[in-house]
């Protein structure tokens, strides 16, 4: 269901829309949590979901999806990252945020779901252990927040963050 109660149609799915409360998304989250627990990541960290990352098909889809998620959200922030925009939708207490990515100029995007981000404050001190247990696709930092991206068995990624993501410096 869409946030406003309408049924999802194929056009919005091709834009990159993810039904956040849908069966597929719920199953994906449970599978990612189970995978991380099997790696030895603390169970409480796997329950502490910061956000879901979603790629829009193009700039027009990005703008349409902002409006669709805004219906269910409390607040939307749009951040210029230089090569693209990122929209963050705060959905209210107890619900993970949505990070919606506009495609980078001139680059095709993997449309739709890209990752879940889990808050594990102590991960950086155990980075070597993380490399031993999983395929770490990249390590990054955003405004002093260390990030790790782990390949998941379903071909996506799980993002590990030390604290909630903030695009504001």
Tell me the C-alpha distance between 134 and 114, whole Å: 18
Q: Which two tokens stand for residue 71?
A: 């219906």
Mean pLDDT of 14-34: 93
Phi and psi (nearest 5°) for 55? -95, 130
pLDDT at 3 over 70: no
Please state, in angstroms and as integers, the Cα–Cα distance from residue 56 to each residue in 18, 102, 104, 122, following that order.
10, 6, 10, 31
Q: Model confidence over 54-93: pLDDT tens digits?
A: 999 998 999 999 988 887 767 889 999 888 899 999 887 7
pLDDT of residue 152: 96
pLDDT of residue 11: 63
Taking residue 69's Cβ as centre, other Cβ atoms within 10 Å add up to: 23
DSSP letter at 8 equals P
Tell me the C-alpha distance between 114 and 159, whole Å: 10
pLDDT at 4 over 60: no
Tell me the C-alpha distance between 105 and 84, whole Å: 7
Tell me the C-alpha distance between 113 and 65, whole Å: 13
Tell me the C-alpha distance between 120 and 87, whole Å: 23
119: confidence class by pLDDT, cuts 50, 70, 90: very high
pLDDT of residue 2: 39
pTM, full prediction: 0.87
| Nearest by Cα to 84 from 117, 65, 66, 58 | 58
């Amino acid at each position: 269901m869409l946030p406003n109660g309408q049924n999802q149609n194929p056009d919005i799915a091709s834009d990159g829309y993810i039904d956040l409360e849908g069966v597929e998304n719920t199953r994906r989250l449970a599978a990612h949590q189970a995978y991380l627990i099997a790696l030895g990541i603390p169970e409480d960290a796997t329950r502490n979901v910061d956000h879901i990352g979603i790629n829009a098909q193009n700039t027009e889809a990005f703008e349409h999806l902002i409006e669709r998620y805004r219906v269910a959200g409390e607040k939307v922030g749009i951040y210029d990252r230089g090569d693209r925009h990122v929209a963050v939708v705060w959905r209210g207490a107890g619900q993970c945020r949505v990070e919606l990515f506009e495609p980078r100029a001139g680059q095709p995007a993997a449309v739709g779901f890209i990752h879940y981000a889990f808050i594990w404050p102590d991960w950086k001190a155990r980075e070597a252990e993380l490399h031993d247990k999983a395929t770490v696709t990249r390590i990054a930092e955003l405004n002093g927040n260390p990030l790790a991206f782990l390949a998941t068995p379903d071909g996506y990624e799980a993002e590990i963050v030390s604290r909630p993501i903030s695009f504001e410096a």
